[in-house]
Amino acid sequence: MFNELRNRYFKWLESFVAHIDDLSPNEEDLLEELYATPYEYSSICPNDSNRKIDGYELRQRFIDECHETQEKLKWISGPCSVLEMLVALADRCEKDIMYDPNYGDRTSEWFWTMLHNLGIQSNSSEKDVAERLQRWMNREYGFNGYGGLFPLEDAGEDQSKVEIWYQMNTYMLEKYGS
């Protein structure tokens, strides 16, 4: 039962970030790696715990949207994964900040942009992905955010010390204006 529910949940998460076409085998492998990696936030920005909570809330949303019993939620346990955190963040970016009915749902675009900004591609080695994720979660990236999720051309403060939510808002404003 666990494997069946886990696979359905993983496919549901995947549906947020799939392109028009199906995902390539490399992209699926990358998503599996992100799902296997626990999301950790730095004590530098304790409010980044909110991103973990957003990831956990996806589990409840899955249960609700897929008409699963509440009892099955216990089968989706463990720490919030990087995949859950990034999917939740991309979803919030779309719904709370960048929603525009003229463009349709761009959750997938925000997700893959964040990975690109981290320097992670579908053909990145497992070792490279693990190292980049660890540097990001340890906040070992540049003042302007390069090496993180949201690099800026004109950073007014050290982005490695700014909450992810505020980094995202500043990035979207710088990139997409108004």
Pick from 176, 117, 174: nearest CA to 149: 117
Give the pLDDT score at 20. Answer: 60
CA dist 146 and 119 (Å) reads 9
Give the pLDDT score at 178. Answer: 56
User: Looking at 2-11, 99-108, 155-164, which range is the least confident one?
Assistant: 2-11
Q: What confidence category does residue 2 fall into, taking pLDDT thresholds of 50, 70 and 90?
A: low
pTM above 0.85, yes or no: yes
Q: Reply yes or no on whether the pLDDT at 86 is more than 70.
A: yes
Pick from 91, 96, 123: nearest CA to 109: 91
Q: Please give the DSSP secondary-structure letter assigned to residue 123.
A: T
What's the whole-number mean pLDDT along residues 66-72?
74
Q: What confidence category does residue 24 fall into, taking pLDDT thresholds of 50, 70 and 90?
A: confident
Q: With contact defined as beta carbons under 8 Å apart, do 92 and 105 qualify?
A: no
What's the whole-number mean pLDDT along residues 13-38?
88
Higher pLDDT, 134 or 123: 134
Mean pLDDT of the chain: 91
Q: Reply yes or no on whether the pLDDT at 50 is more than 70.
A: yes
Give the pLDDT score at 5. Answer: 83
Q: What is the largest CA-CA distance in the chain?
A: 50
Give the pLDDT score at 109. Answer: 95
Q: Reply yes or no on whether the pLDDT at 93 is more than 70.
A: yes
Q: What confidence category does residue 21 fall into, taking pLDDT thresholds of 50, 70 and 90?
A: low
CA dist 10 and 83 (Å) reads 9
